[in-house]
Amino acid sequence: MDNDLFSYYKDRPVVITGGLGFIGSNLAIRLVELGAKVTLIDSLIPDYGGNLFNIDPVKDLVKINIADVRDGHGMNYLVRGQDIMFNLAGQVSHIDSMEDPYTDLEINAKSQLSILESCRRNNPDIKIIYASTRQIYGKPQYLPVDEVHPLKPTDVNGINKIAGEYYHILYHEVYGIKTVVLRLTNTYGPRLLIKHNRQGFLGWFIHLLLDNKEIKIFGDGQQLRDLNYVDDAVAALLMSGAEKKAEGQIMNLGDSQVVSLEDIVKIMIEVNGAGKYSLIPFPEKLKKIDIGHYYSDHRKAKKILGWEPKVLVKDGLANTIEYYKKYGKEHYWQ
């Protein structure tokens, strides 16, 4: 597969929105290894995850545009001449989406429509891979959750991500824009934002662990999750870009290894060699948007892309914790 991806991406112009963020930067590094000509777009909005240090290994091998996807005039220019767009820019905090719903609407819905219009008018041959989220399903009605599961999100973020998805699929069906939607699950790994707790539990748990502070798990800790190490998520993105059969499709990512929140923390403590945790009652405002158990059925991605996750949770967490022991305090704590 690596040889196939190299032959596909070598010298190909590729743009990544949200390119200085967690997944975007890991994707950029991999694309450089594959010989692609990489342009990164990121607004570097504080607290959203963009970090120039994320692309330090390839900082002289990529183009960087500090720009906001909400700027339609800028996007009109930036999409020109690109073969593929990995559209990863977004407001991903479920908590923030409830406290500031209008910003979430602008970034996750209105801006997505603007990006597609920029492509339709200035580069209709581009292929777009859009990163969506498992959060759009809400509280599962059955497990594992497949792509035909009803969509009933528990927060504003989920509603706006559904709109972003539908815009991409609509522009494929009506205008012939080559679009792919991937619904990501809990993605983790090096370069994950860990300085606050508003973008998922994994990064914040790692922060607390390495600060020698107690990790507090809401509820009984038995909520089930599937996790994807970032290298596996990047592989799915790359395969989606290269595979024609993926166009117009919506696919879940996920993992066959399902673990409870308490077991995730126990694994973190084991690989770190130290740590402590406790179980505490759910805060009322978070309990209302909690989804309970969740894990995905990702057989469609396997069928269309040949994708399967490869990194075990223990190995992925060990790699992640090692990265933050080396770089965390200087580049990720504040």
113-168 pLDDT per residue, tens: 999 999 999 999 999 999 999 999 999 999 999 999 999 998 899 999 999 999 99
Percent of the chain with pLDDT over 90: 81
Residue found by looking up tokens 């209008």 in the block: 102
Pairing of strands 250-252, 178-184: parallel
The helix (H) or strand (E) run that includes residue 186 is strand 186-188
Beta bridge partners, 179, equal 128
Dihedrals phi, psi of 134, to nearest 5 degrees = -70, -15
pLDDT at residue 71, rounded to an integer: 86
DSSP 8-state assignment for residue 247: T
Tens of pLDDT, residue by residue over 201-217, are 899 999 999 999 999 99
Tens of pLDDT, residue by residue over 83-108, are 999 999 888 777 778 888 998 888 88
Closest CA to 134 of 96, 103, 94: 94
**Residues whose CB falls within 8 Å of the CB of residue 188, separated by 6 or more in sequence, listed in order:** 202, 203, 227, 228, 229, 230, 316, 317, 320
Structure tokens at 257: 């290894």
> Which domains does the chain carry?
2-331 (3.40.50.720)
Q: From its phi and psi, is residue 47 left (phi > 0), alpha (psi between -120 and 50) or beta?
A: left
Model confidence pTM above 0.85: yes
